[in-house]
Chain A
Amino acid sequence: MRRTILGSTFAALAITTGLTAPTFAQDAINLRMTIWSANEAHLAMFNEIAEGFKASNPDVSIAFEPIPFENYTTTLTTQIAGGNPPDLAWILESNAADFVNSGALAPLTEAFTATEGYDMADVSEQATALWQKDGQLYAYPFSTSPFAIFVNNDVIKAAGAKTPAELIAEDAWTWDNAFATAATVGQSGKTGLVVRDFKYQVWQNMASIWNAWGATPWSADGKTCTFADQPMVDAMTAIHKAIFVDGAMPGPGEDIDFFTGETGMTITQISRASLLPKEDPFDWDLVPLPSGPVGTYAVVGQAGVGAFAASPNVETAVAFLGYMTNPENSQKLAQFFPPARASLLNAQTLGATNPLLSAEQIENVVIDGISYGMVLPGHTNFAQIQQTVRSSLDALWVADADVPAVLQSVCDSVGPLLAR
Chain B
Amino acid sequence: MSLMTETPPRKRPFWTMARRDAAAGYLFIAPQLIGIIAFVLIPLCLVFYYSLHEWNVLANTFNFVGAANYQMLLADRALPQVLLSSAIFSVGLVVLNMSLALLLAVLLDQKLKGITVFRTLFFSPVVVSLVAWTIVWSFLLQNNGGINGMLAMIGVEGPNWLRNPTTAMISVIVVQVFKNVGLNMILFLAALQGVPKELYEAARVDGAGHFKQFRRITLPMISPTILLTSIITIVGSLQVFAQIAVLTQGGPGMTTTVLVYYLYQQAFQFHFFGYGSTLSILLFVIVAVLTFVQWQMRKRIVFYEN
Contact = CB atoms under 8 A, between A and B. Distances in A.
A224 interface: no
A104 interface: yes
Residue from A99, A310, A391, A392 with most neighbouring chain B CB atoms (10 Å): A391
B58 A9 contact: no
B254 interface: yes
A253 B58 contact: no
A99 B58 contact: yes
Contacts, number: 75
Interface of B: 15, 20, 23, 27, 55-60, 141-145, 160-163, 249-254, 265, 268-271, 273
B57 A2 contact: no
A2 B20 contact: yes
A215 B162 CA distance: 29
Contact of B253 (A98, A99, A394): A394
A78 B267 CA distance: 9
Interface of A: 2, 6, 9, 74, 77-78, 80-81, 98-99, 102-104, 200-201, 251-255, 310, 381, 383-384, 387, 390-392, 394-395, 397-398
A102 B59 contact: yes
B163 A200 contact: yes
Contacts of B268: 74, 77-78
A81 B57 contact: yes
B144 A387 contact: no
Nearest to B249: A201
B280 to A, nearest CB: 14
The B interface, classified by DSSP as helix, strand, loop or mixed, is loop
B270 A394 contact: no
B251 A390 contact: yes
A387 B265 contact: yes
Contact of B60 (A74, A310, A392): A310
B284 to A, nearest CB: 20
A102 B60 CA distance: 8
B227 to A, nearest CB: 37
Given A81-B273, A253-B163, A254-B144, 11 more contacts: A6-B27, A77-B57, A78-B268, A80-B58, A201-B251, A252-B160, A253-B145, A253-B161, A254-B142, A383-B269, A390-B251
Contacts of B270: 381, 383-384, 387
A280 B141 CA distance: 31
Nearest to B272: A384
Contact of B163 (A80, A387, A397): A397
